């Protein structure tokens, strides 16, 4: 087959040759002409017959294969390698075991053609729920994907785990405070140029979870719109996974790595939720509540609170302030200021003060690096919800903690 394909499908895989065969088989049934797309299987170090399965489709698909050594779970690295081999202007990421409908690729292309500006298409995934997988293998062996969706598509237990949150925003992700945090790479597409412009997946994020969210964050920051497509759907095949607690451990670690790389209150709130095993899907609402409070106190100064803490602690005490605001007292002394408003952080930085952009739920400060942590009244509106987290982080950093400003 010659000529440049219209869309490249990157399928990461690891020791799931039977599921991979099922996915590839369905790609042979696409209504899009065979020479209009290519498939790149990105192997994360399989030791089964994955390569032989890929080779068996060489006469039915425009297909390529990339292998990387098995150094642990490195799906992001595998996807990047697959994307580098891709030649089409559009990239589609599709998980092994995800079963696309016959019009899957045609629908992805149509979504991009209809979009008024650069877009990432967030494809629907029936049956996708890592914690409570749907067991529909019996149907998959005797029914087409379209027949399964016709039969089960309205069953709440078969819907995409994100469906209630899609529905809550009227299937318009830009009505959410965090339009990017429902991007899962089981099924999505974007321009290859945009993917490469943001650096692709962060290869430091290993283990399950988080690499797709960071990519979504970067693409949103890059200016892309997020567009949900129920027409470009897949069905998730049931398959074995580690215990959800193990998955959440690596997810939490990866979100913390994202926070370190891109200090942003959105990642800080997300880490606090995942790190404490709170529900992931409250992230958007929790962040929106925080953002409303940030706007409310943007002009609130707490220099008097900081000055009082300095007098009580003495001139040489090492102080860290959570919620420092835009101005410190003249006699602030040795102090590290944290605030959750970028304008306040910029003002303090211009004045030469050591400053960190953070709420105080998770900071880059070293354990035991302060004599006193002061939590000011700028955090009063977050206190009822987050006081345990703020106190835990403050006690990790400081020998003593003052909350007198909270009241």
pLDDT in tens, 345-404: 999 999 888 999 999 999 999 999 999 999 999 999 999 999 999 999 999 999 999 999
Q: What is the CA radius of gyration of the chain?
A: 24
Scan for tokens 């001139």, then name that residue: 315
At 244 the pLDDT is 66
* Residues 52 and 183 both lie in one domain: yes
Which residues in the chain show pLDDT less than 50? none
The CA-based angle 246-215-192, given to 5 degrees, is 130
Task: Give residue for tokens 């088989």.
Answer: 25
The pLDDT value recorded for residue 311 is 96
Asked if residues 109 and 33 have their Cβ atoms less than 8 Å apart, the reply is no
Q: 335 with 238, same domain?
A: no
pLDDT in tens, 310-361: 999 999 999 999 999 999 999 899 999 999 999 999 999 998 889 999 999 9
Residue-range definition of the domain harbouring residue 347: 300-402
Structure tokens at 48: 């089964």
Do 30 and 143 have their domain in common?
A: yes
On whether residue 148 sits in a domain, the answer given is: yes
Classify 389 as helix, strand or coil.
helix
Say yes or no: 206 and 313 in one domain. no
CATH (domain of 330) = 3.40.50.150
Q: Where are the alpha helices (DSSP H) in 49-191?
A: 50-56, 75-85, 104-114, 137-140, 145-152, 163-168
Residue 269 domain-assigned (yes or no): no
Residue 292 located in a structural domain: no
Domain final position from 242, 270, 289: 242
The tokens for 35 are 């020479």
Same domain, 70 and 160: yes
Decide if 132 is inside a domain: yes
Q: Which two tokens stand for residue 326?
A: 């835009």
Asked whether residue 137 is domain-assigned, the answer is yes
Residues 320, 356: Cα–Cα separation, whole Å = 10
102 and 236 housed in the same domain: yes
- Both 98 and 174 in one domain: the answer is yes
**Residue 243: predicted pLDDT:** 67
Confirm whether 369 is domain-assigned.
yes
pTM of this structure: 0.93
Domain stops at, among 192, 222, 242: 242
Q: Are 271 and 362 in contact (CB under 8 A)?
A: yes
Sheet holding 370-375, edge to edge: 355-357, 335-339, 319-322, 370-375, 398-402
Q: How far, in Å, CA of 309 to CA of 9, rounded? A: 58
Taking the C-alpha atoms of residue 117 and residue 94, their distance in angstroms, rounded to an integer, is: 23
Residue 259 is assigned to a structural domain of this protein: no
- 351 and 219 in a single domain? The answer is no
Distance from C-alpha of 227 to C-alpha of 324, rounded to nearest angstrom? 38
Q: Is 328 exposed, middle or buried (0-12, 13-18, 19+ CB in 10 A)?
A: buried
Is 407 inside a domain boundary?
no
- Claim to verify: residue 24 and residue 145 sit in the same structural domain: yes
Question: How many domains does the chain contain in total?
Answer: 2
CATH code, domain with 63: 3.90.550.10
User: What pLDDT is attached to residue 123?
Assistant: 99
Residues 238 and 309 in one domain: no
* Residue 235 and residue 127 in contact, taking contact as beta carbons nearer than 8 Å: yes
- Same-domain status, 205 and 328: no
Pairing of strands 98-100, 225-236: antiparallel
Question: Same domain for 326 and 191?
Answer: no
Q: Which residues, including other chains, have CB under 8 Å from residue 17's CB and lie 6 or more apart?
A: 46, 48, 49, 50, 52, 53
d(CA 23, CA 28): 9
The last residue of a domain, from among 215, 242, 269: 242
Q: State residue 344's pLDDT score.
A: 97
């Amino acid at each position: 087959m010659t000529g440049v394909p219209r869309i490249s499908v990157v399928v990461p895989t690891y020791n799931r040759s039977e599921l991979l065969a099922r996915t590839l088989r369905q790609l042979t049934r696409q209504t899009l002409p065979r020479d209009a797309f290519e498939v790149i299987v990105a192997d994360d170090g399989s030791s089964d017959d994955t390569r032989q399965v890929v080779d068996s489709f060489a006469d039915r698909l425009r297909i390529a294969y990339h292998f990387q050594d098995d150094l642990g779970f490195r799906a992001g690295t595998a996807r990047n390698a697959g994307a580098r081999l891709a030649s089409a202007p559009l990239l589609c990421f599709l998980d092994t075991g995800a079963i696309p409908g016959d019009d899957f690729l045609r629908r992805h292309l149509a979504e991009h053609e209809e979009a008024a500006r650069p877009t990432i298409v967030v494809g629907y995934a029936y049956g996708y729920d890592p914690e409570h997988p749907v067991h529909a293998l019996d149907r998959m062996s005797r029914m087409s994907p379209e027949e399964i969706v016709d039969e089960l598509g309205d069953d709440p237990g078969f819907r995409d785990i994100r469906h209630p949150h899609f529905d809550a925003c009227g299937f318009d992700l830009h009505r959410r405070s965090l339009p990017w945090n429902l991007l899962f790479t089981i099924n999505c597409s974007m321009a290859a140029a945009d993917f490469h412009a943001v650096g692709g997946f962060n290869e430091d994020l290993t283990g399950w979870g988080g690499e797709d969210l960071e990519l979504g964050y970067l693409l949103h920051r890059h200016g892309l719109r997020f567009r949900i497509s129920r027409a470009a759907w897949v069905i998730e095949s049931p398959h074995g996974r580690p215990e959800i607690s193990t998955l959440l451990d690596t997810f939490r670690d990866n979100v913390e790595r994202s926070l370190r790389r891109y200090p942003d209150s959105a990642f800080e709130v997300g880490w606090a939720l995942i790190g404490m095993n709170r529900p992931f899907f409250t992230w958007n609402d929790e962040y929106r509540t925080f953002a409303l409070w940030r706007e409310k106190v943007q002009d609130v100064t707490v220099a008097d609170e900081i000055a009082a803490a300095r007098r009580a602690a003495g001139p040489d005490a090492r102080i860290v302030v959570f919620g420092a605001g835009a101005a410190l007292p003249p006699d602030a002394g040795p102090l590290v200021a944290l605030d959750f408003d970028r304008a306040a952080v910029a003002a303090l930085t211009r004045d030469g003060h050591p400053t960190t952009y953070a709420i105080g739920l998770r900071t880059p400060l070293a354990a035991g690096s302060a004599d006193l942590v002061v939590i000011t009244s700028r955090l009063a509106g977050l206190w009822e919800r987050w006081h345990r987290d703020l106190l835990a982080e403050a006690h990790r950093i400081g020998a003593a903690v003052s909350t007198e400003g909270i009241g």
